[in-house]
Amino acid sequence: MTTTALEVRLASRPNGWPTEDTFEIAEVEVPTPGEGEILVRNVFMSVDPYMRGRMNDTKSYVAPFQVGAPMDGGALGEVVTSNSPGFAVGDHVLHGLGWREYAVVNAKHAVKVDGSAAPLSAYLGVLGMPGMTAYAGLLTTAEFKEGDAVFVSGAAGAVGQVVGQIARLKGASRVVGSAGSPEKVKYLIEELGFDAAFNYKDGPVTEQLAAAAPDGIDVYFDNVGGDHLEAAIDSLKLHGRVTICGAIAQYNATEPPKAPRNLHQLIAKRLTLRGMLVGDHRDLQPKFVQEAAAWIANGDLKYSETVIEGGIRKAPEAFLGMLRGENTGKMLVKL
């Protein structure tokens, strides 16, 4: 086995959009696992929107990345050395030390996955954190019920593509999505079964949503924020519910957002806007995996992945591409 490996570090904190210079590729010694630890050779790593917030030195629900230190995030790899009785060499595990080729992982923080039950990459996407976010955010946070009309922003992304399909499978009266290209709009309607979708770059979101959901919506799953949230508030019916999952339109902004400007409607319509973190819903994990795996097996739940090949040096490029919306479905880096 090699004695050195590469890792990606945060080189500097970005002001606005990150660039390639935000990252540093460093060569380090392959670490040695201690008692109760395993050494994992990462095979796939995830890049996710929330990582942009961790590049800022601000207090949040998760600690910021440190300048000069390796970044971290979801990864899936193969055990190459084990000092834990629960794991054997050759096992595939899901863990939180991505952005590096090799990681020493506390066995308590690793989850064994079965590559014969689903493609390994799925455990970072549709069967992983994004899928679980969609499931909990729609069914628990937004309190979805059969017959609801649902709007999903960023609907062709890792979370959005699952939200819309779960809504359809659970009996939504109408499912509408927004995306950033004609190809993604076509994918939502023709592949995933959305009733309507629109390209938010084609015109005001408020007008396009009103045309796509003329009778209004009951639930909005927000991955974007800004003008999408403003449009959803206009279209929401009495007692409508909103899951605030992300606000990718604002992550790189250097000035306060101009929208939403219609929050007064929350009073008249008695709307509920509720933020969510997937970590608050671990109790739903077994039920989610059981349902999602069955849907995938029978073809009811489809998904796309955008896999960047070329190793860990491509990770910064993949992250920046994800922020620009260049992915359909989950964005992954194959190491």
Question: Per 3-state DSSP, what percentage of the chain is helix, strand, and coil (rounded to 5)?
Answer: 35, 30, 40
**What is the predicted pLDDT for the residue at 28?**
98
Give the CATH number of domain 4-125+304-334; options: 3.30.70.940, 3.90.180.10, 3.40.710.10, 3.40.50.11740.
3.90.180.10
**What is the predicted pLDDT for the residue at 304?**
96
Q: Does CATH number 3.40.50.720 belong to domain 129-279?
A: yes
**What is the predicted pLDDT for the residue at 259?**
86
Residue with tokens 């339109």: 249
**What is the predicted pLDDT for the residue at 307?**
98
The residues that bridge with 26 in the sheet, in sequence order, are 7
Residue ranges per structural domain of the chain? 4-125+304-334, 129-279
Render 213-266 in DSSP notation, one character per residue.
Answer: -TT-EEEEEESS-THHHHHHHHHEEEEEEEEE---GGGTT-SS-------TTHH
**What is the predicted pLDDT for the residue at 257?**
85
Summarised one tens digit per residue, pLDDT across range 7-40 is: 999 999 999 999 999 999 999 999 999 999 999 9
Task: Provide mean pLDDT across the span 174-200.
Answer: 98
Taking the CA atoms of residue 77, residue 81, residue 84 and residue 90 in that order, the dihedral angle to the nearest 10 degrees is 50
DSSP 148: -
**Does residue 1 surpass a pLDDT of 80?**
no
Assign 284 a pLDDT band (cuts: 50, 70, 90).
very high
